[in-house]
Amino acid sequence: MASWNSIPLEISYEIVGWIAFASWSFSFYPQLILNYQRKSVVGLNFDFALLNLTKHSSYMIYNVCLYFSPVIQKQYFDIYGDKEMIPVAANDVAFSLHAVAMTAATLFQIVIYDRGTQKVSKLATGIVALVLAFAAICFFIALPTQSWLWLITIFNSIQVVMTCVKYIPQAKMNFTRKSTDGWSIGNILLDFTGGVASYMQMLMQSIDQNSWVNFYGNLGKTLLSLITVFFDLIFMLQHYVLYPETKTSKTVESDQESNEPLVDSSQEHV
């Protein structure tokens, strides 16, 4: 197993990795807090929440298995060489476990808080069912030959596909509503920071090892960073340029003002 050639790069790698972990981990909380304060999940797309849980669950399986399983690590070295480093760090594992817990908590909020008229679409439900069926088929294919690295690579590919898909319902919803009200921009800013830091972490490892295997050996992590940054830029454009917060605030204030006379009139009637 390869070791680091540069101590400064190794230290930087760990620091940037935990920055990515902290940014991505904390990115779940602004939305959770916003939902709690409003006692409502109106503005949060339910398809996004469901697809996000599927994505993070797949990523968790990949990270945990590759990081902890000697059998899978051996299969990795057999393909890429024992001089290469495992492309999964401790912060990747920690993030995945935390992400699954937080996305599950978001779905729980959807169950208990005001949802308006929104429901999970049949398309999103069908996508999740298809993913689960596909994963089950792949498991039985890998079982006879114990091709576990191939199997977890499938899960890594699933999380990449889900990353591409999961943001689309929320972006479309913001466009349709011409508003980002109910969708936390704090989530996006932290998500963006995590994506950039994750890419920098892989870049540092590649420079130290003088090899780019780190990028295509863990293509899922590479694409995850790039796709995350791309969609976060779209959400920033929606929030700050296309549908700025001032318009959202006016909408909320007008709604509150329109509700006040109704309360007063009902009290006078009583």
CA 65 to chain centre: 19
Q: For 192, what's the count of Cα atoms within 13 Å in the CB-facing half-sphere?
A: 13
Highest mean pLDDT among 16-20, 111-115, 220-224: 111-115
Q: Which residue has the higher pLDDT, 60 or 208?
A: 60
Whether pLDDT at 10 is above 70: yes
Of residues 269 and 71, more confidence is placed in 71
Q: How far is the C-alpha of 191 from the C-alpha of 235, rounded, in Å?
A: 11
Contacting residues for 266 by C-beta, under 8 A, at least 6 apart: none
User: What was the pLDDT predicted at 66?
Assistant: 94
Alpha carbons 164 and 200: distance in angstroms, whole number: 21
Q: In the prediction, which pLDDT does 212 show?
A: 72
Determine the number of helices (DSSP H) and then strands (DSSP E) in the chain: 11, 0
Tell me what the pLDDT averaged over the chain comes to.
85
* Average pLDDT of the segment spanning 97-119: 94
Average pLDDT value for residue range 71-88: 84
pLDDT at residue 257 tops 50: no
Cα(61)–Cα(89) distance, rounded to whole angstroms?
14
pLDDT at 172: 93
Q: What is the C-alpha separation between 243 and 180, in angstroms, rounded?
A: 7
Rounded (5°) CA angle 209-149-138:
145
Q: Give yes or no for residue 223 having a pLDDT over 80.
A: no
Angle between helices 46-68 and 90-112 (to 10 degrees): 150
For the stretch 111-154, pLDDT in tens is: 999 999 999 999 999 999 999 999 999 999 999 999 999 999 99
